[in-house]
């Protein structure tokens, strides 16, 4: 999942501009605006079949690909 997510971020969200590593901050790159966030949520929910509760839509969980992956692990193993 983490690899897919990394590909999605670099492919669909960053679209050819400078790529990020999994621990790099997406917040600073400005890709987590409401449109980017909705695309990420949709991607994660479609791929995993999980529902991300509204409470979790905070910077800590979307700051980087690593952070999103950790959130997904936590949702899978509550």
Partner 1 sequence: MADVVIVGGGPAGSTLGCYLSAAGVDNLILEQANHPRPHVGESMVTATTRIFNDIGFIPQMEREGFPHKYGASWHPINGARQFDIAFREFPQEGVNQDYTYHVDRSRFDHLLLRHAEDRGSKVVQGVSVRDVLMDDDGTACGVTAEIDGKSIDFDAKIVVDASGRHTLLGRKFGLKVNDPHFNQFAVHAWYEDVDRGEGESQDYIHIYFLPFKRGWAWQIPITDTVTSIGVVAEKEVFRTSKGDLEAYMDNLVESNPSLARRMAPATRVNELKQEGNYSYSMSRFSGPGYVLLGDAARFVDPIFSSGVSVAMHSAKFASGPIIEALRTGDVGEGAFDSYDEQLKKGVQNWYEFIKLYYRCLPIFTRFIQDPEHRLDLLRLLQGDVYDADGVPVLHAMREAIEVIENTEGHLLQSTLESVG
**Using CB under 8 A as the criterion, which residues of the chain lie in contact with partner 1 when the complex forms?**
32-35, 37-39, 41-42, 45, 51, 54-55, 57-59, 62
Q: Between residues 22 and 43, which has the closer beta carbon with respect to partner 1?
A: 43
Smallest gap from Cβ 46 to partner 1, in A, equals: 9
Alpha helices per DSSP H over the chain: 2-8, 26-29, 34-48, 59-62, 65-76
Smallest gap from Cβ 21 to partner 1, in A, equals: 21
**Maximum CA extent, the chain:** 36
């Amino acid at each position: 999942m983490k690899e897919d997510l990394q590909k999605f971020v670099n492919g669909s969200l960053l679209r050819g501009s400078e790529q990020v590593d999994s621990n790099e901050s997406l917040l600073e790159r400005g890709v987590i605006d409401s449109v980017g966030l909705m695309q990420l949520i949709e991607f994660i929910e479609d791929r995993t079949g999980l529902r991300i509760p509204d409470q979790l839509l905070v910077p800590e969980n979307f700051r980087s690909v690593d952070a999103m992956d950790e959130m997904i692990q936590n949702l899978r193993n509550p």
